[in-house]
Chain A
């Protein structure tokens, strides 16, 4: 197909790009949901992703609870701790400059990462692949677990999109994004809704973490390294645009993968080059005016 480039390598990188894109999409969607409703740039997101993976590891190694129950349990636990965090730390900062929320969530991220590193060290903890094996497609070998990650993440993103764009609950969320006080005059407890939304958004991060555990190793810094890219994704997609965040996530995962094939030297910076160009051309984000959520 392309001279000097094997189809093995090409499809392998496309798959890797899709996998990375799956995590970018789920994480940036959660960030966008939280930012849209609460105007909080949630810097704890990476730590909450790590926490999802880490809780799954703890459940397995201390209680013998395997991957599948953890896929439900760990995100719920991350969501619950998130809701406590929102009540104790973020709610008092409501109405102040965005910077306070950003700094506060960043501080929490450092503390959480620090605690995990202190207790378990910074080397990665292995997590067994719950779906070993794969199929040979002829042009490449497709591991089952990677297929599962891509499919599951797509379903999660589409499900979240339907929830927000096509349900009554989503209508409250979109309305409260725009005019929280007016939504409150309809008898809706908007502060409670914010707590639940924060829980949902970070629950998505926790879910991504569990998904990631068998692929990447479980380590305290697994979130912070990923989050730099995820923030770039959110900026490119348009802060607060939920659909934009998801689409941009997949797209940039693919771009990154393809760059590895065609010009490997640029692979680690291509996303940031995209960010600079998109900020220059469309400062509000690619999806900013089509999608107000």
Chain B
């Protein structure tokens, strides 16, 4: 690696292997095309955010990766596997965990049942002890109905349940949305801890303060396209550039 590249990408992860490679991805809801040729990479161990205005296509990007949006073209390579053309459950079994924007806690299941619902798909997931150590609240409320938890607790539950499965790539859709600042901070700390444990994370986030606290790189999405990719250092150095994308 030459010194120029080092200067542009000061992060040591720049040299890590690419885990997820998205190339010219387009996606549709029925007849309406929402993603128009997205391309970006996620490296092993990296925390990448997708930022952009409401309706830019961030959620759709995650849904296309996991195959909830089935109508898609282009390429999504996860390690050695092509995900376009695969069904959602097949994609999940490769080791991709998805935490949806709406959290999707099951009301007919207790907190414990929600937490242990996703089956262990491969080795390397968190043990039950590690899980409860990371999320002590969930242990205390294990018997309650899933949807009786507060918003913040439901968010924790939605993250916690995909950590046991052995998935090494986590797709988190706006975990800070609609939560009080203290809870956002708590979730930020948990995400940092997950990163330190070696999880690779794609985080959709509109809260810039939250995003720069945890991320290595940022992908800016606009109208279903990638319009910019910057390292966290670049973001820190030039907040104006990103704020203009977000219109804030």
Contacts and interface: CB of A to CB of B under 8 A. Distances in A.
B165 interface: yes
A281 B68 CA distance: 39
B88 interface: yes
Contacts of A183: 117
Contacts of A188: 89, 119
A81 to B, nearest CB: 26
Contacts of B15: none
A161 to B, nearest CB: 14
Interface stretch (B19-27, B46-54, B104-112, B176-184): B104-112
A175 B106 contact: yes
A186 interface: yes
B98 to A, nearest CB: 4
B117 A185 contact: no
A171 B113 contact: yes
B118 A187 contact: yes
Nearest to A184: B88
Given A172-B117, A175-B117, A186 B109 contact: no
A179 B104 contact: yes
A186 B107 contact: no
B92 A175 contact: no
Interface in A224-277: none
Q: Is the interface of A mostly helix, strand, loop or mixed?
A: helix
Given A185-B68, A190-B89, A178 B107 contact: yes
- Report the interface size class on chain B: 20 to 34
Contacts, number: 56
B91 to A, nearest CB: 8
Interface string A151-185: 00000000000000000100110110111011111
Nearest to B94: A187
B100 interface: yes
Interface in A182-216: 182-190
Contacts of B156: none
B155 to A, nearest CB: 15
B121 interface: yes
Given A171-B113, A187-B89, A187-B118, 16 more contacts: A174-B109, A177-B108, A178-B107, A182-B100, A182-B104, A183-B117, A185-B92, A185-B98, A186-B92, A186-B117, A186-B118, A186-B119, A186-B162, A189-B89, A190-B89, A293-B108
Q: Which 5 A-B pairs have the closest CB atoms?
A: A186-B118, A187-B92, A184-B88, A174-B108, A187-B93
11 contacts: A172-B117, A175-B106, A175-B117, A182-B104, A184-B92, A185-B98, A186-B89, A187-B118, A187-B121, A188-B89, A292-B107
